[in-house]
Amino acid sequence: MVKLLGIIDLLAASLLLAAAVGAEIPLNASIFVPICLIGKACICLSDAGSIQDIAMVILIVAAIFITIPPWILYIGATFIGLKGIASLFA
């Protein structure tokens, strides 16, 4: 189960990286990944990882509608990617 949650984090990181470089992101991926992150964050809302998941959902949804500076997207992708890698090896 933890590995699946790590894969969701890595998908979110790849989505943020794609948005940072200006790649075309499919709409279904832009909807599916934030919904998965919100579901994952609802498991334990008082955890720091869940707060990070909610922040990444806000960042992904905001990146759909407005132009966010790439360095902010890189920082978000780094944080969520490291969390995903840690979950994969847990």
d(CA 73, CA 86): 20
Expressed in angstroms, the distance from the first to the final Cα of the chain is 11
Number of domains in the chain: 1
Instruction: Confirm whether pTM is higher than 0.85.
Output: yes
Per-residue pLDDT of the chain (90 residues), as tens digits, is: 778 888 989 999 999 999 999 888 888 888 899 999 999 888 877 888 888 989 999 999 998 889 999 999 999 999 999 999 998 888
Per the structure, the complete domain to which residue 12 belongs is given by: 2-88
Structure tokens at 19: 């948005």
